[in-house]
Amino acid sequence: MLTPSRLVIARKRRGLTLTRLAELAGLSTRSISLYENGHQTPSEETLLLLAEILGVSPAFLGAADLDEIPPDAVSFRALSKMTARERDRALSSGRIALLISDWIDARFELPRRRSRR
């Protein structure tokens, strides 16, 4: 099963356009768009192929829905010098970093800081 938002984030993280991902997967741009919009579900074989191309596990693509980080929620040093693709890569990387942080927080408790006397 594919979670559309995860496909979008994985694609953007790799800096791929819909067209380029479609070319790499041997699919139509329309098919990728339908997957990303949740209007169609890829076959298991296609899901495995997309995961391989994007460098993620099939489990990542099927996990819970993710919200993208809106561009106005972060500060870029030189946003005017960034391309949309560079901005999308940075935002998607940030979203992945938040997932990792949540995973760590759920599994580990850091020792409390001692007060200095």
Q: What is the pLDDT of residue 79?
A: 63
> How confident is the model at residue 4, as a pLDDT?
95
pLDDT tens figures, 21-61: 999 999 999 999 999 999 999 999 999 999 999 999 999 99
In this predicted model, what pLDDT tens digit does every residue of 79-110 receive, in sequence order? 677 788 888 888 888 888 888 888 888 898 87
**CA–CA dist 82, 104 (Å, integer):** 31
Q: Which domains does the chain have, with CATH numbers?
A: 1-108 (1.10.260.40)
**Most distant CA atoms of the chain, gap in Å:** 66
Task: State pTM to two decimals.
Answer: 0.78
pLDDT value at 68 more than 90: no
